[in-house]
Each structure stands twice: as C-alpha cells, then as structure tokens.
Amino acid sequence: MTQSHQTQLNVIVVVADTLRTAFLGCYGNDWIHTPSIDRFARQSVRFTRAHPECLPTIPTRRTLHSGRRAFPFNDYQPVPWDNVYLPGWQPMSAEESTIAETLQQAGYHTGFFADVPHYFVPGMNFTRGFRQWEFIRGQAEDRWNAVANADPALFDRYRAGSQERVAAHLVNVRPQRPEEDWPTARTFQGAIDFLRDNRPPGRNHASSPFYLYVDSFSPHETWEAPLHYYDLYGSRAEREPVCLTAAYGPFADRYDDRIPSIRANYAGLVTMVDAWFGRLLDTVDQLGLQDNTLIFFFSDHGTNFGENPDKIIGKPADYMYPGTMNIPLLMRHPAGLGAGQVRNELVYTLDVPATILAVTGQQSADPIEGQNLLPLLEQNNAFRARDYLTCRYGNSVWYRDDRNWFFSTLDWQSTDPSSRPGQPPIARLFDLETDPDCQDDIAARSPERVAVARERILNDAGGHLNYYERRDSTDALGRPQFSSR
C-alpha cells in the first residue's frame, strides 16, 4: 500500500564517476581532503565490500535507473552517433520501467542533474520519469563548444593522446574559469536549486516528496583540477605537462614522470566533488530536510595508478583490480539508523534502487533484482547474505567471494582459448585472506578455484556469455557491427 505524502521519505542519490575508495578519508586515506564525505560517513552506514554488478559508465547506470541487472550483456545493440561501443553500452529499454517513473507515478517530484555526457547521446533514454532534468554541459567528452576555438598556444601545457581531446577540454571545461563555472560545480548547484525551488517559503512542504538523482562526471577524466585544489596535493613545478588522460592498460611505466601530477589532479577533483557535495548537504540541513530524506553517496567504479602487479593505469576491462572494482557506498537514514556502522556484507550497486523502492513503499512494474539494505541497519536478519558477486565489463568478467578475487577475459568459453589474434587470454586469481591487496596471482596454482569462479559466473549469466568481436563494417546508420559467439 502506498504511504501517505506525510510519511513518505524524500530520496537523494549522488553518484561520483570513477571515485575510488582509496582516495577517501572515511575509507582509510590519511592525506586526502574529503571533510564533507567523511562527515557524511560518520552519519551513515559505510559499506566496505561494495562493487558494481556491471561496467562501465552506461551499463551500470542502466542498473541504477532500472533496478535490474544489465549483466550479462547477451542482447547488445549499439546506438548510432555514440562515441563508445562496448557490450552492454546501450539505451534504457523502452520495454522496462524505471525507478523515476515508479516514484513519479506515486506522487514524487523527480529531478535529475548530471554532467555525464554519455547519458545524453541521442536515443539513450535516461530522462524517463524525471519531471525536471538538466544536462550540464562542458565535460571534455561533451560535443558542445567548437574545438576550432581552442587556443593553440595552450596545447604545450598538456600531454594527451590527441590534440582534439585537449582542444575539447580547453573549450568545454575552460580551466581558466572560476570554480563555480566548472561542470562539477554547476551540476551540484543545479541540484541545490532544485531543492530550494521546490520548497518555496510559506508552502506546505510535506505535500509532495521528492526523488533527486545527481550524477557528477568528476573525478573521471579529464584529469585537471582547479589550481587551488591541485595545490593541496602537488607541486606547481611538476604539474605540467598535464596528462588529461592516460592510455588504459599495463602502461604505468610510460607515465612514471607524470603519475605524481596525474594523482594530484585526480585527488584535487575528488576534493572538488567533496566541497560541492558538502554544499548540497548544507542545503538539505538549511531547508530542514535532514529528518525526512534518505541520502546515498557512491561511485560506479574506480581507477588505477599502477599500484598492482600488472602496472595497470586507468580502468581497462581486462584487468579488474580493486582500484577499479572497490567502490564507496554510504547511506544516511533520516532516523539515524546505522549511523557510524561499518558493514562488511557483499553488496552491489544493484541494491541502491531496491532500497529506494523499499523505503518509499513502492513496487516497480518489473521485478527488482537487488536487495533492500534497510534490514542491515535495522538488524532484523532479513538481508540474505551473498556468497559471491559477479560482474561483466566489455569482453571480460569478474568474480569475488570471501576468499577469492578473480577476473579474466572470456576466451575460456571457446574451444580455442587463443582465438583472439595477437592477444593471449588473461586470467588472474588472488587469495583475499592472505593477499587482500591482490598482488600475488595464483591462478596457475589454483585451477580448482578458477573453475568454481567460472562456473558461478556462467550460472549467473544463464549458461553463456556472448563474446563480441567488432567488425570493420558499419550498418546503414553508421553503427559499428559486431559478431558474437
């Protein structure tokens, strides 16, 4: 039964793209400046073993907006006019309901503010159910301002894979501008304005609950922070040339001289997100919303800076190390349930939409596949502890349980494991009991444990995972074509 408006809780969801747990004070970092997130963590339940159920950006957001697994990507259909083509990177299905639609139909006022450019590629269909939504323009991958207007005199300040990426950054982010003009600040300011505008003085504030979804592309690349944030972590003398991006893969040695600058800029972007998230929290308090608003803060995935056996930098699909797969997940209940608790259960991003529907007393038109996290706060034993988790990213898969951390390419499904021309199969296994940082690969020494991981991955996938190979050809709409096996 639907709750009355007087008893329905508001919900705020804040996602920070590519935010890794190792760069947050509340997860043990002793040099990062994240006072707002750390304060929020003290008021929240903090999950230490939270992971995405699929990757990367768009697949996991299909999960967050629908409440259903996007894994195993066996129905991949690319859209035209995109700039990313990966298994699972496809629109919200017109045949499935969304969390926003469910809440809007129940009387919630719904808002969506994001500067993640991939959301808004034509045909992606993520704005369904939101009565107010805004695409905050300007992240470097956004097809927004004219790259021809980039000042070539500034190019030498940067070291990047392409001048077009540098040019897009210069005309879109415009790093010389004040902090308030950066896309991150404007995204959070849009959310702040949503809260203020929908609580005008003198109105009946309890008449309409709200669902606010905020998605910050920072600290995702491009990695250049405003100088006053960079200065917290790096030397001006070592800052340039700025690496806006780094080639994903076992290439950390290529960036030996740049990693301090990359890390300082990344940390600066983390602190920028923290500062603006803090302003959003302050607004919640100023408007008297703290006692009836459930707030989530988490990430879709992290990234790496070479601190792993393969010297991986970035977040390549074939190497799902903890830097990529460990994500922060914080949940603040308005009644203070679980405040300051640390929970070690295996949880998914998939559990966030399940919890939202549970706390608002709503039921989706389609089955929800995550688990409600509230029983962990209420300690009523209703949460079903998971034995393991699985994830897919591109043509690679990941598995973990209490003891094992495993990832591999999908070649093992083929009768010929060397079927990727020029690319040997990749498989890594780590014992989390003796090697929690995943430094000693034991896959070759533990075939029986590898076999269990693969069996469970396949079981979750319904017995098969399509392996997609991109062809040189395109269809009539210009979409790359793929063959699957």
Please say whether the beta carbons of 441 and 430 come within 8 A.
yes
Measured distance CA(363)–CA(315) in Å, rounded:
35
pLDDT recorded at residue 207: 66
Burial of 477: CB neighbours in 10 Å, binned 0-12, 13-18, 19+: exposed
- Check whether the bond before 72 is cis (ω within 30° of 0): yes
Helix ranges restricted to H, 235-370 = 259-286, 322-325, 351-360
CA 230 centroid distance within chain: 23
Q: For 294, phi and psi rounded to 5 degrees?
A: -85, 130
Residue written as token pair 């309890």:
206
Q: What share of the chain is helix, strand, coil (3-state, %, to 5)?
A: 30, 20, 50
Measured distance CA(167)–CA(152) in Å, rounded:
8
For residue 396, list its beta bridge partners.
Answer: 393, 409
3-state per-residue secondary structure call for 353-401: HHHHHHHHCCCCCCCCCCCCCHHHHHCCCCCCCCCEEEEEECCEEEEEE
Task: Provide the token pair at 270.
Answer: 């983390």
Please say whether the beta carbons of 173 and 182 come within 8 A.
yes
For residue 480, list its beta bridge partners.
Answer: 474
Task: Provide the token pair at 240.
Answer: 């340039």
- Each residue's pLDDT, cut to its tens digit, for the chain (485 residues) gives 344 444 789 999 999 999 999 999 999 999 999 999 999 999 999 999 999 999 999 999 999 999 999 999 999 988 888 889 999 999 999 999 999 999 999 999 999 999 999 999 999 999 999 999 999 999 988 999 999 999 999 999 998 677 899 999 999 999 999 999 999 999 999 999 999 999 876 555 556 899 999 999 999 999 999 999 999 999 999 999 999 999 999 999 999 999 999 999 999 999 999 999 999 999 999 999 999 999 999 999 999 999 999 999 999 999 999 999 999 999 999 999 999 999 999 999 999 999 999 999 999 989 999 999 999 998 888 899 999 999 999 999 999 999 999 999 998 765 444 455 556 789 999 999 999 999 999 999 999 999 999 999 999 999 999 999 888 877 777 777 778 87
- Amino acid in position 181: D
pLDDT recorded at residue 476: 73
pLDDT recorded at residue 30: 97
- Amino acid in position 217: F
- Amino acid in position 363: Q
Measured distance CA(14)–CA(240) in Å, rounded:
32
Q: Is the pTM of this model over 0.85?
A: yes
Task: Provide the token pair at 294.
Answer: 């459930």
- Number of other CB atoms surrounding residue 209 within 10 Å: 22
Q: For 292, phi and psi rounded to 5 degrees?
A: -140, 30
Please give the helix or strand (H or E) that residue 351 lies within, else none. helix 351-360
| 3-state SS assignment for residue 340 | coil
CA 191 centroid distance within chain: 18
User: Domains in the chain, please, with CATH?
Assistant: 10-378 (3.40.720.10), 388-484 (3.30.1120)
Task: Provide the token pair at 313.
Answer: 């930098």
Which residues fall within 8 angstroms of residue 453, CB to CB, at 6 or more apart?
399, 404, 406, 429
